Amino acid sequence: EQPSAPKPVAAPMRPLPWGQLNFLQTTDTHGWHAGHLQESQYSADWGDYISFAERMHQKADEIGADLLLVDTGDRVEGNGLYDASKPKGRYDYDIFKEQDIDIICTGNHELYQADAAAREYTQTVPNFKGKYLASNLDYIKPDTGERIPMAQRFRKFTTKNQGIRVLAFGFLFDFTGNANNTIVQPVGKTIEEKWFQDAIREDVDLFIVIGHVTLHGPEYKAIFKAIRSQKWDTPIQFFGGHSHIRDFAKYDSKAYGFQSGRYMETVGWMSIDGIKSKGKKGDLKELELRSDMSFQRRYIDNNLFGYRYHTGLNESTFPTGHGQNVSASIHKARKALNLDYFYGCAPKDLWMSRAPYPSDNSLYSWLEKEVLADVATNPKRKDKPRMVIFNTGGMRFDIFKGTFTRDSTYIVSPFVSTLKYIKDVPFKAASQMLPLLNNGGPIFESTELQPWQLAPPEQLAIHYDIIAPQLSIQDSFISGAAQAPLLSSSPDLVPGYTTKDDAGDDGDDTLHAPISFYKIPNCIQATASMAEKSDPETVDLVFIDFIQPWVLTALQFTGQTYNNSHVENYRPEIFTDLLAGWIKEHWRGDCRS
Ligand SMILES: Nc1nc2c(ncn2[C@@H]2O[C@H](COP(=O)(O)O)[C@@H](O)[C@H]2O)c(=O)[nH]1
Ligand SMILES: [Zn+2]
Ligand SMILES: [Zn+2]
């Protein structure tokens, strides 16, 4: 029987602001289209989101306003609904395509694996024909080797009720870790191209720039500057993603950016009013048309309680037949993938960033102390001293005390990643790896690690600040599933997102008590078969394949001359399977005791 999350708890709510043109945004859903089965605050599924969008479209039509849906990528890798099938996404692409999205683009996770990039071109682009935009992304056709745009570069259209003339782009940040059947052109180069320069000279009422791009990064700054260089007064609405946070940015009085979190915890609501459009005017009942422009945002906790509140409907009147059918297909897919197959019983909550590292409740301390040395054992070299390095971004979600299933494994460790190694590395060099990799700031955003990012060991310090609660991650609501240390200033509110952005701290639709989370290092390290009293001459340097470019750069920084040819496979299994094996072995018990 599929576990279903208990009903979301009632909580004080903030209504949605409506304007001439309104948006719903999803980003970085990472396969979480079944919703969060262990966190009632995020327990709505993609079918419920379809019902919500259909009800909000009905309301928009009633009042003569417009509603557009946006998705900004990273739809894959991070949940069994996508990762557990062969080929990946066998059910998930068909589930996702049921939502009527108006503007959609690519994330970096669609491009890490060549097969995922190919499925993007052969499945998701056709599923959203005319809506999928690829302003700076090309695809290499496997049959001919021909380089073609992944999808159309931009879209020009007029909105249904208000007749607003829109021109939309779809970007990806300057990503360099993409598979070789794709080409990501740097944004700075794209905005110099003729098609883009022509597009920003078009006479429109609004530019919409969607992208798998962080709101405050260099790419959006460049695009904003380019559009403003031609259109000093035309409003611009940016939609961002990738950094997995709720965020809202002001670029000028008529240009704003919006980003809607991650993992279907959040559905974003953006509303613009006062757009001077030359198109037909719907009579905006209930809304007086403002003369000045307004840009308002709301971050919606993805649950049925909130959806019914925002639509003014109830348990029987809210769902649409289409939404219910999609929810049913999600249940069927999860059953077919056996996602609730029991692997073991997690003895406690293990947090990615809700607990300090190192600490008893840190997911990374658990990995470092209990798992890595165990799973990183090659029978032919098990007595050889070894150091095992793993990037913390390779673990993607918390582990809640209690049931750990097949789905949990993909949620925590979804990547097609294997362990590699360089044999007999001088201990003096190998022992500098972790400090060097952890002192360069968030270095895994691009594969070009600059030597300056590898500070000499004596300058190393790892800071574990409590990051402001506004970026906190929602706690679980099932008592006992996650009793994390709460810093609640309002005892009657449940813990959750308390977002502070460029518009202040009233963006969340549900009032929560704040929770805090802690900075984590880029990498962690385990050791095995090390002598008690003395350092070994050499060690096997074992690492997860994703960080190979950085490990080689760090080794060269210490004066070693290793390159890709020195790297060998350490274990054939993908890390997900190694983790599953460890859990079945060490977390026995049925969770009932
Ligand atoms: N160990 C691995 N980590 C990976 C792999 N692919 C990506 N990643 C991690 O994900 C983030 C980017 O995620 P996003 O959702 O923020 O775009 C990246 O920085 C890595 O930390 C992988 O194959 N193995
Ligand atoms: Zn992401
Ligand atoms: Zn991303």
User: In this predicted model, what pLDDT tens digit does every residue of 29-65 receive, in sequence order?
Assistant: 999 999 999 999 999 999 999 999 999 999 999 999 9
178 lines ligand 1 (CB under 6 A): no
Instruction: Look at ligand 1, atom 14, and give the residue with the nearest C-alpha.
Output: 242
Which ligand 1 atom sits nearest the alpha carbon of residue 262?
Answer: 15
Q: Residue 449 Cα, ligand 1 centroid: separation in angstroms? A: 15
Residue 450 pLDDT > 70, yes or no?
Answer: no
Question: In this structure, what token pair is assigned to residue 223?
Answer: 């695009």
Average pLDDT of the chain? Answer: 90
173 lines ligand 1 (CB under 6 A): no
Give the per-residue pLDDT at 557: 93
Instruction: Give which of 222, 156, 157 is closest to 185, Cα–Cα.
Output: 222
Which ligand 1 atom sits nearest the alpha carbon of residue 416?
Answer: 23
| 151: enclosing H helix or E strand | none
Instruction: Look at ligand 1, atom 7, and give the residue with the nearest C-alpha.
Output: 394
The mean per-residue pLDDT over the stretch 221-229 comes to 98
394 lines ligand 1 (CB under 6 A): yes
Q: Residue 73 Cα, ligand 2 centroid: separation in angstroms? A: 8
Q: Residue 218 Cα, ligand 1 centroid: separation in angstroms? A: 21
Q: Residue 518 Cα, ligand 3 centroid: separation in angstroms? A: 20
Q: Residue 270 Cα, ligand 2 centroid: separation in angstroms? A: 20
pLDDT interval class at 280 (50, 70, 90) = low
Residue 447 pLDDT > 50, yes or no?
Answer: no
The mean per-residue pLDDT over the stretch 267-294 comes to 74
With the most atoms of ligand 1 within 8 angstroms of its CB, the residue from 415, 542, 575 to mutate is 415
b/e burial code for range 162-184 (CB count within 10 A of at least 16 → b): bbbbbbbbbbbbbbeebeebbeb
547 lines ligand 1 (CB under 6 A): no
The mean per-residue pLDDT over the stretch 462-473 comes to 32
Residue 121 pLDDT > 90, yes or no?
Answer: yes
Cα gap 233→246, rounded to integer Å: 27
Q: Can you spell out the DSSP letters for 303-370?
A: SHHHHHHHHT--TTTS--HHHHHHHHHHHHHHHHTTTT-EEEEESS-BBSSSS-SSSTTBHHHHIIII
Residue 461 dihedral angles phi and psi, to the nearest 5°: -150, 140
Which ligand 1 atom sits nearest the alpha carbon of residue 112?
Answer: 6
The mean per-residue pLDDT over the stretch 317-338 comes to 98
The mean per-residue pLDDT over the stretch 342-357 comes to 96
Q: What is the pLDDT of residues 371-394, one digit of tens each?
A: 999 999 999 999 999 999 999 999
Residue 281 pLDDT > 70, yes or no?
Answer: no
Who contacts 456 (Cβ-Cβ below 8 Å, separation ≥6)?
none
Report the predicted TM-score, pTM, of the whole model to 2 decimal places: 0.91
Instruction: Look at ligand 1, atom 2, and give the residue with the nearest C-alpha.
Output: 394
With the most atoms of ligand 1 within 8 angstroms of its CB, the residue from 444, 449, 579 to mutate is 444
Instruction: Name all domains of the chain by residue range, CATH numbers in brackets.
Output: 21-336 (3.60.21.10), 342-461+518-586 (3.90.780.10)
Q: Residue 28 Cα, ligand 2 centroid: separation in angstroms? A: 4
Instruction: Look at ligand 1, atom 11, and give the residue with the nearest C-alpha.
Output: 393
Give the per-residue pLDDT at 445: 63
Give the per-residue pLDDT at 517: 83
Residue 254 dihedral angles phi and psi, to the nearest 5°: -130, 25
Give the per-residue pLDDT at 49: 99
Angle subtended at Cα 522 by Cα 346 and Cα 176, rounded to the nearest 5 degrees: 115
74 lines ligand 1 (CB under 6 A): yes
Give the per-residue pLDDT at 457: 36
Which ligand 1 atom sits nearest the alpha carbon of residue 442?
Answer: 19
Instruction: Give which of 363, 321, 135, 303 is closest to 227, Cα–Cα.
Output: 135
The mean per-residue pLDDT over the stretch 399-405 comes to 97
Q: Residue 544 Cα, ligand 3 centroid: separation in angstroms? A: 19
Give the per-residue pLDDT at 287: 57
Q: What is the pLDDT of residues 77-88, one digit of tens each?
A: 999 999 999 999
The mean per-residue pLDDT over the stretch 561-572 comes to 98
Give the per-residue pLDDT at 568: 98
Which ligand 1 atom sits nearest the alpha carbon of residue 243?
Answer: 16
Which DSSP symbol is given to 94?
H
361 lines ligand 1 (CB under 6 A): no
Instruction: Look at ligand 1, atom 9, and give the residue with the nearest C-alpha.
Output: 393
Q: ipTM of the predicted structure?
A: 0.96
Ligand found nearest the CA of 412: 1
Instruction: Give which of 389, 382, 377 is closest to 431, Cα–Cα.
Output: 389
Strands (E), 177-329: 182-184, 206-212, 236-240, 246-252, 255-260, 266-273, 294-301
Q: Residue 443 Cα, ligand 3 centroid: separation in angstroms? A: 14
Question: On the CB side of 525, how many CA atoms lie within 13 Å of its CA?
Answer: 17
Give the per-residue pLDDT at 229: 98
Question: On the CB side of 9, how many CA atoms lie within 13 Å of its CA?
Answer: 15
415 lines ligand 1 (CB under 6 A): yes
Instruction: Look at ligand 1, atom 12, and give the residue with the nearest C-alpha.
Output: 393
575 lines ligand 1 (CB under 6 A): no
Give the per-residue pLDDT at 292: 82
Residue 276 pLDDT > 50, yes or no?
Answer: yes
CB 529 within 8 A of CB 386: yes
Q: Residue 394 Cα, ligand 1 centroid: separation in angstroms? A: 6
CB 166 within 8 A of CB 187: no
Q: Residue 171 Cα, ligand 3 centroid: separation in angstroms? A: 12
Which ligand 1 atom sits nearest the alpha carbon of residue 107?
Answer: 17
Share above pLDDT 90 across residues of the chain, in percent, rounded to a whole number: 84
Q: Residue 154 Cα, ligand 3 centroid: separation in angstroms? A: 21
The mean per-residue pLDDT over the stretch 169-179 comes to 97
245 lines ligand 1 (CB under 6 A): no
Residue 1 pLDDT > 60, yes or no?
Answer: no
